[in-house]
A = this chain, B = another copy of it.
Amino acid sequence: MADYQVPLQDMSFLLYDVFNNDTLWQHLPKLAAHVDKETVDAVLQECAKIAEQKIAPLSRQGDETGVHFEQGKVTTAPGYKEAFDTYTEGGWSALGGDLDYGGMGMPKVVTAFHEEMLCSADISFSLYAGLSAGAGLSLAKHGSEQLKQRYLTRMYTGEWAATMCLTEAHAGTDLGMIRTKAIAQADGSYKVTGSKMFITAGEHDLTENIIHLVLAKLPDAPAGPRGISLFLVPKINVNEDETLGDANHVSCGSIEHKMGIHASATCVMNFDGSQGFLVGELNKGLACMFTMMNFERIGVGIQGIGTAVKSYQNALAYAKDRLQGRSLTGIKSPEKSADSIMVHGDVRRMLLNMKSMNEGSRGLSTYIAMQLDLATYGEGEQQVKGETLAALMTPLAKAFFTDMGFESTVTGQQVLGGHGYVREWGQEQLVRDTRISQIYEGTNGVQAMDLLARKVVGSQGVMMQVFIDEVNAYIDETSAENMQEFILPLTKVMADLSILTQNIITRSAANPNEIGSAANDYLHVFGYTAMAYVWAKMVEVALQKQDSGDHFYLSKVQTARYYFARMLPRTQSLISAINAGSDTLFAIDDQLF
């Protein structure tokens, strides 16, 4: 397996050359003081070192060893504790954190790259860090001053980890059905009782305390999702003097045995009258969780990019090295027993599918991260637009990047043939590890419904129009002759997307099932189209530098051509399938399945 190498040049290209983030940061008052190119470059370089040197080497062994569960205790895989200590000592737990509580306040475009590096190195490790960061966002936004001073500060130092406890056995997507109860106590705290499942990092030996954010209902709460509140429940109580006190009746009942992410502890967590503290308002727990989730769901999407990048690096190294067969156009390496498999069109197809999707995904994820930054740190119209696009594109990021990432890991495995199927090469682990990203944090089907039902149809197309207007303005202003090979197909798919959107809105007014039957395919049409927009922006810069002698730019130009020629046409079949309508799905009685 090739050593993982962080694609720092591509990250820099996106941040500065394509999306001008250095200028943007200077114009955002909440970032200008502490975020600049020099700082960010140093952050990314240091992060690359830890990902390449400290975390990536743990991944194979972590997969083999997994986590060990015995008598309620979880022992992480060899090297995890040391690597986690190195990680937290480097301040990485605070990277995206609130400046007022010890965070570094880095924008999402930077933390997104940090997440990609961690996920390329080892998704399992990244989850311990990621859950804390995610819970930290929710606490920073909704927690009381006291909770933030007491807990958030020590989550940022990495002294304590955190989790999000949502799912119960009978309540996954449909959180309105949760049964975990919270009873108000005289001192203002609550006693939380219930059982949660699929809790990532619910129990482990990396930190001395674990802070659980738990969804629960008060006895008299309204039924359904509007009766859910959010509570902070520490594994170990914290005394008034900030020292650790008694255990808080929080226990890990078991861990799951899973297809992948073996080194990530997926726990059943039991709360048995545990002391909890309300976060945000009563019965507004879902909202508290979801403001964080918008920020974090892109992070799950990035898991797909991370593994896909690793898969590409491995597959490329293997393809260059593996000698098998001869080129159809004549022998290329007569001095060798066979040509490298790079001569075969189908191997190149597989590699370029991966390359064009990976770079396109990184570009699109940077674009979406910028919208989140504008929504968070921007002002006025810019802030409103960023918020709209972030809300629109967050489900896209989660589902599209993980679907593409899974495809890329499977494709990379195929390049290795039989060696991709045996464990020792590590390539099959990427397939198993990344598969969960299409499922957790809301399945990709649920993301598709969030996009189409809530955002697109829910706004009667207004939110999508914000995106369409931006791209159409870009098309209008991009008149350079050498860009027309990209602008013409972009114009075509944008028109297709616009018509498709209107059609679905119209049809769904008469029959809401049109939404559910179109959602998944619509999300992918949007994904390929939005990626075409970002590829156009990337190639526009690269074309100007393709003769610079730096192969990076010529590679970018030709990869863009590949994307437009061979990936973007996927929208055609998807649109045809959608236009077949919902009767194709609903005319069939359940008993006929």
Binary flags per residue of A438-459, CB closer than 8 Å to B gives 1, else 0? 1110011100110001000000
Q: Is the CB of B519 within 8 A of A177?
A: no
Q: Is the CB of A173 within 8 A of B348?
A: no
Given known contacts A346-B519, A572-B573, is B558 in contact with A337 (CB within 8 Å)?
Answer: no
Q: Is the CB of B593 within 8 A of A316?
A: yes
List, in ascending order, chain B residues with CB within 8 A of A345's CB.
Answer: 513, 515-519, 582, 585-586
- The reply on A355 being an interface residue by CB < 8 A is yes
List, in ascending order, chain B residues with CB within 8 A of A445's CB.
Answer: 344, 346-347, 350, 414
SS class, residues of chain A in contact with chain B = helix
Chain A residues 326-378 with CB under 8 Å of chain B are 328-329, 337-338, 340, 342, 344-352, 355
Which residue of chain B lies nearest to A266 when distances are taken between CB atoms in the complex?
B422
Chain A residues within 8 Å of chain B by Cβ, number: 99
Distance (whole angstroms) from the CB of A232 to the closest CB of chain B: 24
- The reply on A590 being an interface residue by CB < 8 A is yes
Q: Is the CB of B592 within 8 A of A555?
A: yes
- The reply on A306 being an interface residue by CB < 8 A is no
Q: Is the CB of B324 within 8 A of A174?
A: yes
Q: Is the CB of B554 within 8 A of A592?
A: yes
Docked complex Cα distance between A171 and B561 (Å)? 34
Q: Is the CB of A352 within 8 A of B172?
A: no
- The reply on A570 being an interface residue by CB < 8 A is yes
Chain copies in complex: 2
- The reply on A576 being an interface residue by CB < 8 A is yes
- The reply on A73 being an interface residue by CB < 8 A is no
Q: Is the CB of A198 within 8 A of B565?
A: no
Partner of A585, one of B258, B349, B551, B593: B349
Binary flags per residue of A512-550, CB closer than 8 Å to B gives 1, else 0? 110111111000000000000000000000000000000
Partner of A432, one of B406, B432, B448, B565: B432
Q: Is the CB of B590 within 8 A of A520?
A: no
Binary flags per residue of A552-587, CB closer than 8 Å to B gives 1, else 0? 001100110110011101111110110011101111
Question: Which one of A49-57, A241-249, A423-431 contacts B?
Answer: A423-431
- Other than the given A173-B417, A344-B516, A567-B577, 16 more pairs (CB < 8 A) read A174-B324, A258-B421, A259-B421, A266-B422, A345-B519, A346-B516, A346-B519, A349-B517, A352-B584, A414-B444, A414-B445, A418-B440, A421-B435, A555-B588, A565-B580, A573-B574
Binding site for B on A (CB under 8 A): 167, 170-174, 177, 198, 256-260, 266, 316, 320, 323-325, 328-329, 337-338, 340, 342, 344-352, 355, 406, 410, 413-414, 417-418, 420-424, 428, 431-432, 435-436, 438-440, 443-445, 448-449, 453, 511-513, 515-520, 551, 554-555, 558-559, 561-562, 565-567, 569-574, 576-577, 580-582, 584-588, 590-593
